[in-house]
Amino acid sequence: MTRTDVVIRLAACALVGLFGGVLAQHLTPNAGGNPLLGAAAATIFCAAFGRRRFDIGGALLWGTAYAFVVWLAVLGVTIGVHRGVAASALDSMRPAFPQLVADVVTLGIPTGLTFGIAGTLRSGVPGAPISIARALVGGGIAGIGGGWAFGKWMERIHYFPLIAGLVHSSSVTIGVTLHFAIAVTIGGTFGLLFQREIRGIGSSMSYGATYGALWWFVGPLTILPALTHHPIDWSASHASTIFGSLIGHVVYGLIVGVIYAVVDRAWRRLFYESDPLHRELVEGRFRTLSSLYWGSLGSIAGGIVFSAVMLSTGAFPRVAALVGGTSLAVGFGVHMIISALIGATYGIMFQYEAPNLSASLAWGLVYGAIWWFLGPLTLFPILLGGPFIWTNAVAGTQLPSLTGHLLYGAATALAFLALERRHAAWLAQNPRLATRALRRRRSLGTAAPAVWLFFVGLVVTLPVLLS
């Protein structure tokens, strides 16, 4: 990348940051938008990444992660000035929530997109070209699946008439139609933005959950009220009332990620790898069975760590109720069986994603956070015979479980890494397998660290902030 390219990027980012500050001031005064500070922050982002070449999706996620870090830095200064205890620190966080939304919507997203688009137009992006047909077909199918899951919650709270208000209607049928149209569109953009980034089901699911959370800021908090002629309200109190929509967007996104990865893999096998010249050397069933075994075995460490949290909160009787029991021993047994099943899926999904300590720890935290949304907030109430309730109040009661899920994910991932290392050393002895393993590893130029930072940061911050 030439010096001219860098200058063009810096100038474009500065203009976008300036406009974002003006937009934040216009949309809601309590967001504290400042055009000059916005221009400075956007310029710093582009200067920091300098000559790196991201595709548009990767740059988008780095931009949003950067916006989150900027918000945390400003929040830290604010709390430091107040010099308060934990309670006053939390009081300082809630008024700062509009600034978080402003940073994400008017700084992180436009700056990341500008950086990615400018770099792509000027210098291109290394790697295989994007298959538009593969992205749109896979993303569209995934969007339907994610939209169906999200729609179950929307149907329960009578949300479809509000969606129909986008076209000045109150019809449920029109609302459902618009919902699936939006779901398919977002799924298609997911495929276009992240096709190069995805290495397997695990990364696709994680990118999808992050992308879904990002759309919560853009959609229900910003675009939906604007298009339905309601005032845009970025306050913490308003966000609390639509916290269920955040959970729905995350669940939608992770389902989109899983389905897209499966469809994308099937597409490549059918239309690309059917040619023997394009077929990769594979390790056969041994690798899959080994990953299942290592993941299940690694989950013992995660399950035991999680058990300490469950024991302190008295959660074992509720777990035992899944099989009609009430005792602590039955609850512990059921918990360890569930832990083994989840650990096995970690082994399959992330077997090529986490070759070192830092990556394993990060993906484990992401996976644990994802299962907090899927487990106690969604599947567990259903298995007990009741409805799932996506509210900030319920999420607040499950904060100890969030801690347990994060610890479980981290411990399971690290144990899996330790068990897998001997096999990785054996692979390195085969030049073809070693080359393929190296190709599957993520370079520093990918957006995986941005996913780790933004998604885990939001999951830890928002339930506390909005409860």
Closest to 418 measured CA to CA, from 364, 356, 367, 346: 356
Which of the two residues, 354 and 73, has the higher pLDDT score? 73
Q: How far apart are CA 403 and CA 372, in angstroms?
A: 9
pLDDT over 90 (residue 210): yes
Which of 278, 297, 322 corresponds to the end of one domain? Answer: 278
pLDDT over 80 (residue 231): yes
Closest to 183 measured CA to CA, from 208, 204, 156: 208
Does residue 265 sit in the same domain as residue 323?
Answer: no
Q: Is 460 exposed, middle or buried (0-12, 13-18, 19+ CB in 10 A)?
A: middle
Q: pTM value?
A: 0.90
Does residue 305 sit in the same domain as residue 392?
Answer: yes
pLDDT over 70 (residue 444): no
Does residue 197 sit in the same domain as residue 296?
Answer: no
- Cα 75 to its chain centre, rounded Å, is 22
Does residue 319 sit in the same domain as residue 457?
Answer: yes
**Range from 50-59, 88-97, 188-197, 370-379 carrying the lowest mean pLDDT:** 88-97
Average pLDDT over residues 43-58: 83
Average pLDDT over residues 150-155: 93
Q: Which amino acid is located at 200 in the chain?
A: G
Task: Quote the mean pLDDT of the chain.
Answer: 85
Residue 129 DSSP one-character state: P
pLDDT over 90 (residue 136): yes
Does residue 138 sit in the same domain as residue 272?
Answer: yes
Cβ 317 vs Cβ 330: under 8 Å: no
Does residue 412 sit in the same domain as residue 391?
Answer: yes
Does residue 147 sit in the same domain as residue 67?
Answer: no
Cβ neighbours, 10 Å, residue 365 = 22
| Phi/psi of residue 388, nearest 5 degrees | -80, 140
Which of 243, 258, 278 corresponds to the end of one domain? Answer: 278
Does residue 370 sit in the same domain as residue 414?
Answer: yes
Cβ 107 vs Cβ 58: under 8 Å: no
Residue 108 DSSP one-character state: I
Domain span holding position 403: 285-466
Percent of the chain with pLDDT over 70: 85
Q: What is the pLDDT of residue 300?
A: 93
Average pLDDT over residues 115-137: 78
Retrieve residue 119's tokens.
């770099």
pLDDT over 90 (residue 14): no
Sign, CA torsion 466/457/398/145: positive
**Number of structural domains the chain divides into:** 3
Q: Which residues have a Cβ under 8 Å from the Cβ of 83 and sit 6 or more positions away?
A: none
Q: How far apart are CA 263 and CA 253, in angstroms?
A: 15
Q: What is the pLDDT of residue 243?
A: 94
Rg of the Cα atoms in the chain: 23
Q: How far apart are CA 465 and CA 236, in angstroms?
A: 8
Question: What DSSP string runs through 78-105?
Answer: HHHHHT--HHHHHHHHGGGHHHHHHIII
Does residue 76 sit in the same domain as residue 144?
Answer: no
Q: How far apart are CA 252 and CA 230, in angstroms?
A: 25
Retrieve residue 190's tokens.
């997911």
Does residue 305 sit in the same domain as residue 419?
Answer: yes
pLDDT confidence tier of residue 85, bands split at 50, 70 and 90: very low
pLDDT tens-digit map of 396-436: 899 999 999 999 999 999 999 988 876 665 555 555 555 55
Cβ 221 vs Cβ 239: under 8 Å: yes
pLDDT confidence tier of residue 155, bands split at 50, 70 and 90: very high
Does residue 266 sit in the same domain as residue 290?
Answer: no
Which of 278, 296, 317 corresponds to the end of one domain? Answer: 278
Does residue 386 sit in the same domain as residue 302?
Answer: yes
pLDDT tens-digit map of 300-347: 999 999 999 999 998 999 999 988 888 899 999 999 999 999 999 998
**Range from 219-223, 238-242, 349-353, 407-411 carrying the lowest mean pLDDT:** 349-353
Q: How far apart are CA 463 and CA 19, in angstroms?
A: 31
| Helices 132-156, 172-194: crossing angle, 10 deg rounding | 140
Q: How far apart are CA 79 and CA 56, in angstroms?
A: 35
